[in-house]
Amino acid sequence: MGSLKKKLTKLMQCTGMKTGDLVIMAAVLLLAIYVLVLTLSVRYVGRSIDPLPQATAAVPEDKGAADPAQSAELTAETETAEEETTEATEEPVVSGDPVVEKVLADMTLEEKIYQLFIVSPEELVDNAVPCVTESGNMTKAALQSKPVGGIIYFAQNLQSRQQTTDMITNAQYYATDSHGIGLWIAVDEEGGKVARVADTLGTTAYSPMATYGKQGDTAQVREIGADIASDIAEYGFNLDFAPVADVNLNSGNELGDRIFSDDPAVVSEMTAAMVEGMQQSGKVSATLKHFPGLGAEGGNTHYDKTARIDRTKEQLEAEEFTAFKGGIEAGADFVMVGHQIMSCAGDDLPSDLSAVAVNEWLRGDLGFQGIVVTDSQSMNTISGTYSAGEAAKKSILAGVDIVLIPKDLDDAYQAVYDAVKGGEIPESRIDESLRRILSAKAKHGLIG
């Protein structure tokens, strides 16, 4: 000890260090040794113990590690419990678009339900005039009290280019100004014999779609789709109820040469091309119709009280579903569901009132996630059997997003409203459709 003390004294004399400096050096040295020992200990422990997987239940302290079978059982039980907890606390699915969610949160139930209807301009104003050709004070007042999702115009409403543009522009302004949500402005512009704008306003006319189906030129059909969209967008239309995606399986069907072909593969290719052309500018949404297919029909849904088609599910999958799949995969924004009763659905309901047709087949089998719209519910196959309210309610319950031209808008609205207030239709079901509708409208710049 004396020798160590002498050496330290000599070191201090040689280096000029003081006692305090020596104490500091000793403290630093001890700290370095402590950190080194701690680091080595942690590394050793880390190599010796595997971390527990997050999903695995912790082993009780008073027992040893469980054998593999017990561990697997504990893990399965834990995962099941977590799934049950997730299901119990799961929140409604949201669109992911904060603008849409904000608009939806601010809407009243009345506003939500009206968005589920596209109506004629005459029905909007309670048929106060036999033919609407301008959007004036009646239209303005109607849109303030009944903020419908859209208006469909027919040939009778279109008189001239300027008149059509003014009528649509004013209606769009009234809707956005009063409730902040613009309108679907719809038209049937297929080309061929169903071409409201071409027939009345002189835009480019085209041959029946069967002509192009025979030619098999998808590039030409894609160009036709783009040209039709450009023509109608000029006047303010943003929704076209075209193309026809039915397959010509029965020469007695009501569609005739509006159908591309009797070959499902050709129909699939042609409708896909038409959808791509029509939607490429982002100004007009295309609509595949008339799911699950009217091509095998022998009657007429406009006039007959019922339209029944006897088809097996396998036949539908091989032909009608194949045809619709092309347009769906091409990204069609809308699919229109018709009024035909399909025997294989097993519910004896028109397809637009059938959860089998809408949810199981269109949403499930074909994976369509866009907007589902009914065919006009003023047609006799619906209005001749069901009240407007009953048809609208059944359609919404079946999974439809938009009811087109109910026979009586007030009756249809009230039935859906009462069903929501009475708990028959959950408001979450309405919100599900609204998210699809508002998301599509946002892309069209219709959320103001």
Per-residue pLDDT tens over the stretch 342-385: 999 999 999 999 999 999 999 999 999 999 999 999 999 999 99
pLDDT digits (tens, 9 = 90+) for 319-332: 999 999 999 999 99
Radius of gyration of the chain (CA): 34
pLDDT value at residue 19: 53
pLDDT attached to residue 96: 75
Q: Which of 174, 191, 178 is nearest to 240 (CA)?
A: 191
Is the preceding omega at residue 290 within 30 degrees of 0, hence cis? Answer: yes
Residue type, 435: R
Which whole number is the average pLDDT over 238-266? 97
Residue with tokens 């407007």: 388
Averaged confidence pLDDT in the chain? 85
Task: Locate the domains of the chain by residue range.
Answer: 17-89, 101-443
Q: CB of 154 within 8 A of CB of 200?
A: no
Q: Which of 217, 227, 263, 302 is catalytic?
A: 302
pTM over 0.95: no
Which SS3 state, helix, strand or coil, does residue 283 take?
coil
- pLDDT digit string, tens, across residues 182-234: 999 999 999 999 999 999 999 999 999 999 999 999 999 999 999 999 999 99
> Where residue 448 falls among pLDDT bands split at 50, 70, 90?
confident
Task: Examine the residue annotation and report whether 375 is marked as an active-site residue of this protein.
Answer: yes
* pLDDT tens per residue across span 68-90: 333 333 333 333 333 333 333 33
Q: In the structure, what pLDDT confidence band is assigned to residue 25 with cuts at 50, 70 and 90?
A: low
Q: What is the mean pLDDT of residues 55-64?
A: 31
How sure is the predictor about 48, in pLDDT bands with cuts at 50, 70 and 90?
very low
Residue 235 near residue 441, CB atoms below 8 Å: no
More confident residue, 235 or 34: 235
Asked whether residue 148 carries a pLDDT value surpassing 90, the answer given is yes
User: What are the backbone angles phi and psi of residue 244, rounded to the nearest 5°?
Assistant: -75, 125
Supply the pLDDT for residue 13: 52
Round to whole Å and give the CA distance between 3 and 444: 93
Would the pLDDT of 9 be above 70?
A: no
Distance of CA 352 to CAs 349, 382, 393, Å?
A: 8, 10, 11
Largest CA distance in the chain: 122
CATH of 101-443, one of 3.20.20.300, 3.30.470.30, 3.50.50.60, 3.10.100.10: 3.20.20.300
Identify which has the larger pLDDT, 38 or 310.
310
Active-site residue flag, 302: yes
**Token couple for 326:** 């092309």
Q: What angle do CA 231, 237, 241 make, to 5 degrees?
A: 90
State the pLDDT confidence band at 4, using cuts at 50, 70 and 90: very low
> Within 10 A of 289 (CB to CB), how many other CB atoms are there?
28
At residue 198's C-alpha, the angle toward residues 147 and 297, to 5°, is: 80
Query: Using 50, 70 and 90 to split pLDDT, how confident is the model at 334?
Result: very high
pLDDT digits (tens, 9 = 90+) for 275-288: 999 999 999 999 99
Task: Provide, rounded to the nearest whole percent, the portion of the chain with pLDDT above 90.
Answer: 77
Task: Place 262 in a pLDDT band, splitting at 50, 70 and 90.
Answer: very high
Choose the catalytic residue: 188, 240, 375, 408: 375
